[in-house]
Structure 1
């Protein structure tokens, strides 16, 4: 966009500090660090890649046909199934469901907890080639969950040798409309009785928002289903099922595709939880009810016992042992605790007696249970007969053992982040774990502990002088723009790339590619009297180490005398500290993170090292001058960044010269975007905290919630409505603190800034569509779309929206006003404006001025730049918004 030229207008300047010129530092190799090259092992067990070096795309489940010992099958959430040859650890594509669904006009949905979730092979697979899949699809822009049968490409009696399958053999059994993107359940297994068992959640949102859990005569939710896919004689036809909220499938049941086992427990039932119901309306497919999100369940083959892992709401995670007919209590109970925030409130029907879980645990131990299986392998004989399960959020893997009195006791096994399901190696029943974020299937093995971590900070070799934290040679300090909230702690940071031949793969826009062996160090000090810097003491020093396949983290807790710091165990540690606040002693709980806590935030999608990126490092800092230029000049980067003024930089939270929206988006990026990434999220939630997602597209303003806390008026943020802006409740901890890790104190500065934005700027903030409606009286026509030009003034509508000019007035435009030696312009509030110059209209670069950068100001700014002497110069402006 080339702006018009108007008369000179000079009103004022916004002063900002320029980046100092960068001088390269002398890069030297580090030879003192003693950190293991791969993640250290603590305890008796560890994991290894189950299939050599094989990786997968979001592996979510494992299945093996009956009688098969040479191959197993890995389900990928994106719609593929890989057939793994166990003899040589190779894979081949067995099913590509996603491509076929796109061709059918019903694409696979992968938002939040959707996707291809599981598969199960028919007991007689070798003869008939049948296997079944549970997947999510979008039909007419409505999410549906489907259970379908497919047939492998092969020969009857020898389907175990089949290497592929054709999705056109698809036969749907159930296609159910789903109003939410979470709590799908999604697991499937054949029981010893030959029937197919299917887990389904409560439909989603939170608090049983769709009122499904306490009914057996509505839809297929909150249950384990049991159906007869062979339609055996004597079994029953499903009751009629209608779903008026689906525009494509008036019934969830595909007639003639399955029957109901005659001994299913709810056949003929005429009352449930105190309500009289008609027997012909009962969903007779239901085998067990009262479940919230039974993400994974399993049968123990020698005993036939069924174990269900049910993901909790906000208090407890639970494991149920069932045999059919049980009501597991949701949404009147969560674990053993009464739940009163559901549709039923605190009411309890007469005679109501829910089935007790065999084990539950609090949210302090974990936040998302992944159901497992009973170990029947031979490799680890001491675990034989124990139920092994995991918590997805914390990465803890445990086993529970049944005692003679009927209780179950828990023991720690390992820490492994991102476990979404378990399986068995068909050769020896080794325990396999699907780690979705790692893209790997792991095998549980005995630890040889050959790479222990240094037991003290001094033994790591990171500092040449521990008393003042002088880094060893080859370790360099750096500063960032916007630190993560850390419960009042102040932090210092260092990094090292020990080998001089290694460099970082630089990018302006995506996470950097770090070399194996790179190390980041972060040190935490905390004032024992708030506001008194002299009272500060060291608490912990953390390390992140880049390995060949990811990262690992270590935490060292400082001794009270400050002489050294000791390695914290793999499970982390909480310590209660006495802090003086306003003259009064208060208790602050400090969390030393577990090894898997580190992995929960430092994810591959987020770039592993959360603060080592353009937006955080684009500043003057400890590296000297312009940090990005210094990194490049010193040989740490594989390419040279663009000039710093043309690159984005995070503003500080308290920088009042920068717009509130920009600072808030930065805060959400730094504190939330490692998990909340829109459709790429690893946790439930609709909002996209990534700063690269425009605010109007990020489900932030009036954004719908997965958990609305029982109030349909709640949103992520509601303009001019603090009561229904749930983000405030998340930050103050009144409705489940976010971020959920390593934080127990309220960030009042962030809450105050959000409050000011919600009540101050948001009520009058307009999206482009709202602005177009106000300016043009209509939207959606050729001359009102973003690239249109409604008033024919030569500037697009989106340019006028960003500039704050009148899109319906030809005389109202954004302009660079040129004079003899200067030019000026109005920099609109909450907009980025970058002035670029060129001598040939082909090669453009940022105009050289200290105040020319992408920072969105808090108010409109009148800027004046001096023109350089010399030949002709072309100027243009690039406008954008948070």
Structure 2
């Protein structure tokens, strides 16, 4: 009898163990192979692999480096999800956790990471410069949006020794089209901007800079529209403003000399005096011949071609080059003509602001005998030798003599 009882207990124990084995919970596996696609300025699609029977997951995301448990959470029932409401130009981390049951969840996956894109440039004149999305982050840093690109000029316009940050923003998927040595054909929706600033001390750039204005051209229906943004004292933004402003500015130049001037931000009607020809608003600087040179060891136009910004162009060697006005290895006449072309020809040319008042035609491509430089050489000298508002040249945009520019022109005039 005792033996039968013992056998019964053993059988009961075996059956009991078997029942316990059947109730063992399968471990919820961690999602793997995280990936990110369709990244925009405000959203991203994330994907993963989930080998569990249940496809329920929890996604936690936040600014790169956030601690799990402190981020934002969304849930999904497939192998991908869209995270929206993100900030542009921002780095994010995310984790995916499988939910096999209420009381059976996996550990977090390894961290996935992505960076959101810059916000698209807005091709319209909005109240604040920041709304155009030309810059990202702290406005005073002038950090370029990824949707704009910088351009430089081999012979630039003089504006009281101010530095200029020149930018072009093209509509997505479109490009400038080569159209000879002058201006390329810009598509509608193009934004060209030029930001004027001074380094407070050219011998110690760590002391910072003062940004004064950002001038903007926007291509609308085959024509340029023009506007000007004036920066606030805090350097946090600039406001669309049609009025003239005088801004006192002091700085130390590269020679260590103290400099100062009352910088004049032009009124809207003054902007159009220089930026107009035959009644149409025009650009001044970004002609192909004035951009055809090396910047940081690479030909600038070739860089534009390689990036898809400039199409239908021949080789850069076949494109015209405007002389560098500071290159003293070049002939004095060609350097002077280049300086005239950039600083003066927008007014002193057919259709320009001074067409009626002056016989000069200072375009670089014009034969010298047709420019009337020889006939007007004394007048040119008198208007450049000293600053006299309403008389000296350039008529708008300067409050002082460009000493180096005048020295070049004077040397050339003395040879005539």
Judge same fold: TM > 0.5, yes or no.
Answer: yes
Change (3 A) 1:753 1:473: same
1:34 to 122, 138, 159: 122
Counterpart of 1:520 in structure 2 is 192
**CA distance in 2: counterparts of 1:35 and 1:572, whole angstroms:** 24
Higher gyration radius (CA):
2
Contact 2:262 2:399 in 1 (8 A): yes
Is residue 2:353 matched to residue 1:700? no
How many equivalent pairs are there? 292
Contact 2:182 2:288 in 1 (8 A): no
Structure 1: gaps of 5 or more residues: 1-28, 37-452, 704-715, 718-724, 763-882
Q: Superposition pairs for residues 621-660 of structure 1, below 5 Å?
A: 621=295, 625-641=298-314, 643-660=315-332
Q: Shift of residue 586 of structure 1?
A: 6.5
Q: Deviations over 1:373-399 (max 9, x none)?
A: xxxxxxxxxxxxxxxxxxxxxxxxxxx
Contact 2:118 2:147 in 1 (8 A): yes
Q: Shift of residue 522 of structure 1?
A: 1.3
Change (3 A) 1:561 1:591: same
2:272 to 590, 596, 599: 599
Counterpart of 2:41 in structure 1 is none
Q: Superposition pairs for residues 72-221 of structure 1, below 5 Å?
A: none
Contact 2:261 2:399 in 1 (8 A): yes
Contact 2:155 2:324 in 1 (8 A): yes
Secondary structure of 2:141's aligned partner: coil
Change (3 A) 1:699 1:499: same
Is residue 2:140 matched to residue 1:486? no
Q: Superposition pairs for residues 656-735 of structure 1, below 5 Å?
A: 656-677=328-349, 679-683=350-354, 684-701=357-374, 703=375, 716-717=376-377, 725-731=378-384, 732-734=386-388
2:286 to 600, 609, 612: 612
Is residue 2:411 matched to residue 1:745? no
Secondary structure of 2:136's aligned partner: strand
2:180 to 489, 504, 508: 508
Contact 2:163 2:196 in 1 (8 A): yes
Q: Normalising to structure 2: TM-score of the pair?
A: 0.63
Q: Shift of residue 530 of structure 1?
A: 6.9
**CA distance in 1: counterparts of 2:181 and 2:154, whole angstroms:** 17
Change (3 A) 1:587 1:664: same
Contact 2:277 2:353 in 1 (8 A): no
Counterpart of 1:570 in structure 2 is 242
Q: Normalising to structure 1: TM-score of the pair?
A: 0.31
Contact 1:31 1:498 in 2 (8 A): no
2:210 to 537, 544, 547: 537
Contact 1:503 1:635 in 2 (8 A): yes
**CA distance in 2: counterparts of 1:568 and 1:561, whole angstroms:** 16
Q: Shift of residue 753 of structure 1?
A: 1.1
Q: Shift of residue 529 of structure 1?
A: 5.2
Q: Superposition pairs for residues 353-432 of structure 1, below 5 Å?
A: none
**CA distance in 1: counterparts of 2:256 and 2:317, whole angstroms:** 45
**CA distance in 1: counterparts of 2:298 and 2:251, whole angstroms:** 37
**CA distance in 2: counterparts of 1:495 and 1:584, whole angstroms:** 34
Counterpart of 1:758 in structure 2 is 413
Q: Shift of residue 589 of structure 1?
A: 1.4
Secondary structure of 2:248's aligned partner: strand
**CA distance in 1: counterparts of 2:352 and 2:210, whole angstroms:** 37
Higher relative contact order (CA 8 A, sep 6+): 1
Secondary structure of 1:575's aligned partner: strand
Secondary structure of 1:495's aligned partner: strand
Structure 2: gaps of 5 or more residues: 1-116
Counterpart of 2:4 in structure 1 is none
Q: Shift of residue 493 of structure 1?
A: 1.3
1:475 to 122, 143, 148: 148
Contact 2:344 2:362 in 1 (8 A): yes
Secondary structure of 1:470's aligned partner: coil
Secondary structure of 1:511's aligned partner: coil
